[in-house]
Structure 1
Amino acid sequence: MEPFAFTPWAWRDPAWMAVAFDRSPADSDDEQPEAELAGYHVEATDGGIGKVDGATAGVPDGCLLIDTGPWIFGRTVVLPVGIVRRVDHDERTIHVDRTKEQIKAAPEYDPAGPDHAEFRTRTDAYYAESYRLLPPML
């Protein structure tokens, strides 16, 4: 049994978005709020992993598209927003609670895939298992 429910597709604290962009978490529009984080640096628990890519058009809701640069051969990864520990808007940095290796081993996203259901299922299982084994420190 898991010590707490993990939802990888939802921000842990929606106030992060409201404070930075002067909107309430209940505000909705057609654009993903994650797109407003384009260019932010992303830090794993053991160092930088890249930047948030601005091309979020085909990415599932509740995910961040990360351009990893050379550390995993320039691969682009998609991370669920539920692994975000905190967002520092002054420094334009997003801190996630997983290591570089855990992110590198995460399910690969196929932008040409017909729908996102299979990716969401694999990703949900991958991160839920890692949280069950080692709950993140908040």
Structure 2
Amino acid sequence: MPNDTIWSYASDLGPARDHDLTGYSVAASDGTIGHVDRQADHHGMRHLVVDTGVWVFGRSQLVPVGMVEGIDTGERKVTLACTRAEVKGAPRFRTDSETQDPVYLTSVGDYYRGLSGGAGPTC
């Protein structure tokens, strides 16, 4: 699983992918969804935990970094390759321990991989 592209930043993001993205705003293809609360890399499954604020009833959503299609360090903004509804439809993130649970992370990866019909990380 660690070599799966859904858990790796696209190489064309360059050095921006090495920045601490905590606090960056997060936009889906159809609008802003929140901000990066934290980023993690457990079991080789690199991901962002996005605080959606009131948009998804105060929940956070876990997003694999393979869904990131752009990082603007000047604007402090991350752009995702999917819609707001697709992020909202991902497996529900409930507790911080899930960021370390390979079963939960696998279900998230499978969901996002399925958005593109298995052809890659873009929706």
Same fold (TM over 0.5): yes
Which stretches of structure 1, 4 residues or longer, exceed 4 Å deviation after superposition?
Answer: none
Distance 2:68 2:98 in 1: 25
Matched positions, count? 116
Which position in structure 2 is the counterpart of 1:28? none
Distance in 2 between residues matched to 1:113 and 1:89, nearest whole Å: 28
Q: Would the alpha carbon gap of residues 86 and 119 (structure 1) be closer, same or farther in structure 2, given more than 3 Å must change? A: same
Q: Equivalent residues in 2 for 1:5-24 (5 A)? A: 7-13=5-11, 15-16=13-14, 18=15, 20=16
Q: Say which structure is richer in strand.
A: 2
Alpha-carbon distance between aligned partners in 1 of 2:54 and 2:100, rounded to the nearest angstrom? 28
1:126 aligns with 2:111: yes
Pick closer, same or farther for the CA change 1:42–1:120 going to 2, 3 Å. same
Q: Greater CA radius of gyration, 1 or 2?
A: 1
CA distance in 2, matches of 1:85, 1:111: 25
The CA deviation string for residues 72-114 of structure 1, in whole angstroms up to 9 with x for no partner, is 1110111100000010111110000110100001012332359
1:124 partner letter = G
Unaligned runs of 5+ in 1: 1-5, 26-32
Structure 2 match to 1:3: none
Identity in percent: 32
Provide the alpha-carbon RMSD of the alignment: 2.7
Task: Label 1:83 to 1:117 Cα distance change in 2 as closer, same or farther (>3 A).
Answer: same
Q: SS of the residue aligned with 1:72?
A: coil
**Is 1:66 the equivalent of 2:64?**
no
Which residue, out of 16, 33, 41, partners 2:25? 41
Determine which of 84, 89, 97 is the counterpart of 2:68.
84
Paired residue secondary structure (2:54): helix
User: What TM-score does the superposition give when structure 2 sets the normalisation length?
Assistant: 0.79
Contact 2:99 2:105 in 1 (8 A): no
